[in-house]
Amino acid sequence: MPIHSAALAATDATGQVPTLATRFQAVRAATLAIAAPLSAEDCQVQSMPDASPAKWHLAHTTWFFETFLLAPNTPGYAAFDPAFKVLFNSYYNTVGSFYPRPQRGMLSRPTLAQVLAYRAHVDAAMLTLLADAAAAERLRELVTLGLNHEQQHQELMITDVKHMLSVNPLAPVYAAADPTQLRANAANGWSTFTGGLVDIGHDAASRGDFCFDNETPRHQAFLRPYELANRLVTNREFLAFIEDGGYTRHELWLSEGWDCVRQNQWRAPMFWRKRDDAASDAWREFTLRGEHALDLDAPVSHVSFFEADAYARWAGARLPTEAEWENAARVSEANAATSLAQLFGVLWQWTASAYLGYPGFAPAPGAVGEYNGKFMCNQFVLRGSSVATPAGHERVTYRNFFQPDKRWQFMGIRLAR
């Protein structure tokens, strides 16, 4: 289950369409809620170059609204601190220089308290801006992008914090009631799809709701008949792969994956652990509620593309392409009787598709256009959404993407054949 209230839901509990200002407040509050259990020290640490400190996420998402909304649209807007322009830019070359990513954890100043003040300052100015109905209408698209951007960082905050806590020998607890705990809830089996010439991608024009540029343009793809597994691969199934020598048999791995296994001495998914001194040799797992016995019936998580690909080969199956996944999910949307489970809200699902632009893809001009297109190289697409994805953020056309050796996100495996 996603952990956040439905901040961007089309309608609220009473069936009303919330205003843009209401949505803005809800999303911004959800970010603070994720940070609430964290100390100033927790928010400071960057545990690897791929991750960012929670404090940085809190500031960067705020920087987005200050830079792209307030500065151009609020006459006389005074920046909270001009130095933040560089400090909290992430990769937007167009907006000027940026602070090197691997050193984000070096910045003890501004403190967490100052960053929270920065958020409050920007939130107040944003709400003033959005109180002007004409401005709100004119800026709706960009504000919505900012909110979706912030939701992406909400998920990253959770996964970055999990990694940060995991490197601490004390195995600290984020929250006693772990919002990302996975449970078994799906029956095995295969669903069959006929394929043919299918539509892929978001129909921005006709649907009207938000999407990222990389989900467009809608286009046709030709699919052979195929089958998808009804549920994700479980820890029990993945353990059988391990016990069958999965991590020691080169013939199961891509060449680069095999190098990766040997170099990093991978023996199991990312957060699995065995206690050297334990009487029992049962596997345990580090989670946001500390270290616990591995739940064998839960879906296997925190596996890389390389591990997903090797597992599929071992199992005599393969990973689905993103077109196969999207077509199946669309069929499921249209037909509640389908048996496909765990499409959303459990684990992102690795596909066999490299992350590239769709036919006719053109990134938006300017800084916003740097958002997705820049990364169309050496990454693989994941589909669905995860237990850490904010509610309302997922879509059947959503394209997540990571390098094939990454595994600190909530990533799992759905087989195809």
Binders of its own copies in range 185-204 (CB under 8 A) = 197
Q: Which of 47, 89, 180, 287 binds its own copies (CB under 8 A)?
A: 47
In the complex with its own copies, the residue whose CB is nearer, 136 or 367, is 367
Q: Which of 62, 353, 389, 409 binds its own copies (CB under 8 A)?
A: 353
Closest contact distance (angstroms) between CB of 3 and its own copies is 21
Which listed range, 14-22, 204-212, 265-273, 355-363, lies at the site for its own copies (CB under 8 A)?
355-363
Reduced 3-state DSSP string for the chain: CCCCCCCCCCCCCCCCCCCHHHHHHHHHHHHHHHHCCCCCCCCCCCCCCCCCCHHHHHHHHHHHHHHHHHHHHCCCCCCCCCCHHHHCCCCCHHHCCCCCHHHHHHCCCCCHHHHHHHHHHHHHHHHHHHHCHHHHHHHHHHHHHHHHHHHHHHHHHHHHHHHHHHCCCCCCCCCCCCCCCCCCCCCCCEEEECCEEEEECCCHHHHCCCCCHHHCCCEEEEECCEEEECCCCEHHHHHHHHHCCHHHCHHHCCHHHHHHHHHHCCCCCCCEECCCCCCCCCCEEEECCEEEECCCCCECCCCCHHHHHHHHHHCCCECCCHHHHHHHHHHHHHCCCCCCCCCCCECEEEEEEECCCCCCCCCCCCHHHHCCHHHCCCCEEEECCECCCCCCCCCCCCCEEECCCCCCCCEECCCEC
How far apart, in Å, are the Cα atoms of 191 and each of 164, 227, 331, 349?
A: 38, 5, 11, 16
Closest contact distance (angstroms) between CB of 224 and its own copies is 5
Asked if 42 interacts with its own copies (CB under 8 A), we say yes
Closest contact distance (angstroms) between CB of 249 and its own copies is 9
Which listed range, 19-27, 137-145, 202-210, 219-227, lies at the site for its own copies (CB under 8 A)?
219-227
Asked if 219 interacts with its own copies (CB under 8 A), we say yes
Query: What is the β-pairing status of strands 380-383 and 400-402?
Result: antiparallel
Asked if 170 interacts with its own copies (CB under 8 A), we say yes
Which listed range, 229-237, 281-289, 325-333, 373-381, lies at the site for its own copies (CB under 8 A)?
373-381
Asked if 66 interacts with its own copies (CB under 8 A), we say no
Q: How many whole angstroms separate alpha carbon 112 and alpha carbon 92?
A: 23
In the complex with its own copies, the residue whose CB is nearer, 42 or 155, is 42
Binders of its own copies in range 225-254 (CB under 8 A) = 250-251, 254
User: What string marks each residue from 78 to 117 as x (binds its own copies by CB under 8 A) or -?
Assistant: -----x--xx---x-xx----x---x-xxxxxxxx-----
Q: Which of 1, 71, 167, 278 binds its own copies (CB under 8 A)?
A: 167
Closest contact distance (angstroms) between CB of 49 and its own copies is 12
Asked if 45 interacts with its own copies (CB under 8 A), we say yes
Asked if 264 interacts with its own copies (CB under 8 A), we say no
In the complex with its own copies, the residue whose CB is nearer, 106 or 127, is 106
Which listed range, 15-23, 57-65, 220-228, 232-240, lies at the site for its own copies (CB under 8 A)?
220-228
Binding site for its own copies (CB under 8 A): 39-45, 47, 55, 83, 86-87, 91, 93-94, 99, 103, 105-112, 164-165, 167-170, 172, 197, 219-224, 250-251, 254-258, 321, 352-354, 356-357, 359-360, 370, 374-378, 404
